[in-house]
């Protein structure tokens, strides 16, 4: 394709297509409107100087990746957890699951979702980890100031709906009303799983995003 030659920031076409995976929900309103210029900016039709951040594409990240690959030393690595660790934690950008435990790439299997919950998918990952990937210790790690524990599902739907400019009441959000209770239930779900033997250590921890400390609660 011509994607190489159209990555330039000047292009008014490629940045949009490059950003599609990120902006799919927002772009749902776009097809209704043809190419009619926005009345507010109709005096000039050149908007290439004022592209929103989501339209800048991935160029900065790809450039960073090339630097990363130039110093890459993990090639030929197997995929097992060398320190025998699996972590289930939140998608929150304040959490660095490896570094907070003094681990490095290759040491642990990491499973993340909103809230750091032990879902069916998380259990699937843990079963694979235990039996095929050397996992012997499992940490379940929700965190302080988690959006999933400080909003109701109705509030999240309202906020997402406002951002999307359309109804979001059909979208489910697995909010947590009592973090400690949810953590106990999640640890129990792992410990009682028929394919996860008692020899595997399972702990429930709360990560403090302001201090970096883990507090074992279960
Ligand atoms: Zn969170």
Report how far ligand 1's centroid is from the alpha carbon of 156 (Å).
Answer: 13
Q: 125 C-alpha vs ligand 1 centroid, how far in Å?
A: 19
CA distances from 180 to 39, 55, 141 (A): 52, 40, 11
Segments of the chain assigned E as strands: 85-90, 108-113, 137-141, 201-207, 214-216
- HSE on the CB side for 187, CA within 13 Å? 19
d(CA 143, ligand 1 centre) in Å? 6
Question: If you measure from the C-alpha of residue 211 to the centroid of ligand 1, how many angstroms do you get, rounded to a whole number?
Answer: 15
Residues shown for the chain: 218
Domain 85-216 superfamily per CATH: Carbonic anhydrase (3.40.1050.10)
Residue pair 214/100 in contact by the 8 Å Cβ criterion: yes
pLDDT band at 55 (very low <50, low <70, confident <90, very high): low
The CA 10 to ligand 1 mean position distance, Å, reads: 37
> SS3 of 88, please?
strand
Q: What pLDDT digit, counting tens, does each position of 136-160 carry?
A: 999 999 999 999 999 999 999 999 9
Tokens representing 160 are 């997402």
Distance 20 CA to ligand 1 centre (A): 25
Judge whether 139 and 87 are in contact, CB under 8 Å.
yes
- Measured in Å, residue 111 CA sits from the centre of ligand 1 at 13
- C-alpha of residue 154 to centroid of ligand 1, in Å: 17
Please give the distance, rounded to the nearest whole angstrom, from the Cα atom of residue 96 to the centre of ligand 1: 12
Q: What are phi and psi of 183, to 5 degrees?
A: -65, -40
For the chain, the structural domain boundaries read 14-70, 85-216
Note the pLDDT tens digit of each residue in 92-123: 999 999 999 999 999 999 999 999 999 999 99
Dist. CA 112 → ligand 1 center (Å): 10
What pTM, to 2 d.p., does this model score? 0.75
Centre of ligand 1 from the C-alpha of residue 87, in Å:
14
pLDDT above 60: residue 21 = no
CA of 82 to the centre of ligand 1 (A): 27
């Amino acid at each position: 394709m011509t994607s190489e030659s159209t990555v330039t920031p000047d292009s008014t076409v490629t940045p949009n297509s490059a950003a599609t995976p990120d902006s799919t929900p927002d772009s749902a309103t776009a097809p209704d409107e043809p190419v009619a210029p926005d009345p507010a900016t109709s005096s000039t039709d050149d908007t290439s100087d004022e592209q929103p951040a989501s339209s800048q594409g991935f160029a900065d990240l790809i450039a960073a990746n090339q630097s990363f690959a130039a110093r890459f030393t993990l090639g030929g690595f197997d995929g097992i957890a060398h320190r025998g660790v699996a972590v289930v934690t939140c998608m929150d950008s304040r959490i660095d699951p490896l570094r907070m435990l003094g681990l490095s790439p290759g040491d642990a299997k990491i499973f993340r979702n909103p809230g750091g919950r032990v879902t069916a998918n998380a259990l699937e990952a843990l079963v694979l980890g235990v039996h095929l990937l050397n996992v012997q210790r499992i940490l379940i790690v929700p965190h302080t100031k988690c959006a999933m524990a400080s909003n109701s599902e109705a509030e999240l739907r309202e906020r997402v709906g406002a951002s999307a400019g359309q109804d979001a009441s059909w979208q489910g959000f697995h909010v947590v009303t009592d973090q400690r209770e949810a953590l106990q239930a999640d640890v129990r779900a792992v410990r009682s799983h028929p394919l996860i033997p008692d020899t595997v250590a399972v702990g429930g921890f709360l990560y403090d995003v302001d201090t970096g400390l883990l507090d074992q609660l279960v």
